[in-house]
Amino acid sequence: MKILSTSTLAPASALGLAVVLVAAGSSLASGHGVSTPLTHYVTFDNSGTPPQSWEWTVENNGSDGFGLDEAEFDGGTGDAFDDFGGFLVDGDPYISMHPEEDADAALLSEDENGDIHLEGYVAQLSGLDVSSTWTFFSETPIARSVATFTNPGDDDVEVVVDYIGNLGSDGRTQIVPGSHDGLFVTHDNDAGDPVITHAVAGPEYPAVVEWEAGQDDISARYPITVPAGATVHLLWFVEIRDWESANADISFEDALEVAIAGAEERYLAPSAALTAGDFDLDAVLNWSVQGDGDGDGGDGGGDGGDDDDDVDDVDDTRSDIETIIRPGYTG
């Protein structure tokens, strides 16, 4: 059972899971997105064992784009981010604005799994129709963003997309590389912020990671080509992990170890559950997620189950992907 509220944290349900949405003036309709103003708070309250609740805050972060303002565990570690996970197209931030009201807003919906989606409104950037959808999973503190680029024109369009963000770990930031450069874990060296898993590209799309201790900015760069008339996507995951709190009986060191192991398990080949959504998996440029599972579970939007045959229109652009993560990004 999901409990929705526009004001305060709802009590945990008998089934142990509740989700609370806090956004002034918003309401939630099942099956259809409803426009909601930003800043938007998405809180999941899981009263399982151990009980845990966490909150994501989403907004238009100015020059850092439509992304996370913050994420934290109730009664646990906090300050995961200081504006994070937005993206730039040729240097211009993607911002979600209500088309008529010219105000910060996004479309809010909840799916049958209790996962929450915040779909940004389309903006025109570099000749492309650009949007972004954030998904917050109800079972695990994982956020996914899917950027969508549609080329309405008659000529191919080449752009550079920068996924950017700043971490709450500030000057204590440490990075632990995963098995490939699109996968890594960041932490604040035992100072009280959540351990964060970042997945910015699949193993088939090796990234160049550069990092210096003490830098808390992340940027991953994707030069992409959007063929005339085509739609392509970039996909990113970020996961927060609590440690040594009232609801997390795990040491910092163990949390870090679990985060690294979990990163390999979850994001080398993301599951159908993690990639479900109303977008074409075959058109994802920075991950090989088509053919995931048995071929029909990877797309909850109903248009991905039969797409394994039509990858040709975007496959050529994949070789253009080069991911660079560099410290010291200043926006």
Chain residues in the site for Ca ion (CB under 5 A): 61, 69-70, 79, 82-83, 166, 168, 170, 193, 216
Nearer to Ca ion, 86 or 298 (CB): 86
Nearer to Ca ion, 69 or 239 (CB): 69
Nearer to Ca ion, 56 or 149 (CB): 56
Tell me the β-bridge partners of 310. Answer: none
Q: What is the smallest separation between the CB atom of 86 and Ca ion, expressed in angstroms?
A: 10
Nearer to Ca ion, 98 or 172 (CB): 172
Q: What is the smallest separation between the CB atom of 64 and Ca ion, expressed in angstroms?
A: 7
Give the rounded distance of the alpha carbon of 250 from its chain centre: 25
Give the rounded distance of the alpha carbon of 300 from its chain centre: 17
Nearer to Ca ion, 181 or 216 (CB): 216
Nearer to Ca ion, 145 or 225 (CB): 145
* DSSP per-residue letters across 1-32: -----SSSPPPPPTTSEEEEEE-TT----TTS
CB neighbours (10 Å) of residue 41?
15
Q: What is the smallest separation between the CB atom of 132 and Ca ion, expressed in angstroms?
A: 15
Q: What is the smallest separation between the CB atom of 38 and Ca ion, expressed in angstroms?
A: 10
Nearer to Ca ion, 74 or 216 (CB): 216
Q: What is the smallest separation between the CB atom of 131 and Ca ion, expressed in angstroms?
A: 20
Tell me the β-bridge partners of 133. Answer: 119, 146
Distance, CA of 145 to CA of 46 (rounded, Å): 22
Let me know: does 165 contact 71? Beta carbons within 8 Å. Answer: no
Distance, CA of 161 to CA of 220 (rounded, Å): 8
Going by C-beta distance under 8 Å and a sequence separation of 6 or more, which residues neighbour residue 106?
A: 35, 36, 38, 40, 58, 66, 96, 118, 119, 120, 121, 134
Q: What is the smallest separation between the CB atom of 288 and Ca ion, expressed in angstroms?
A: 32
Nearer to Ca ion, 148 or 173 (CB): 173
Which of the 8 DSSP states describes residue 106? E
Q: What is the smallest separation between the CB atom of 253 and Ca ion, expressed in angstroms?
A: 18
Distance, CA of 243 to CA of 246 (rounded, Å): 9
Q: What is the smallest separation between the CB atom of 140 and Ca ion, expressed in angstroms?
A: 21
3-class SS at 260?
helix
Helical spans, DSSP H, in the chain = 252-267, 272-275, 312-318
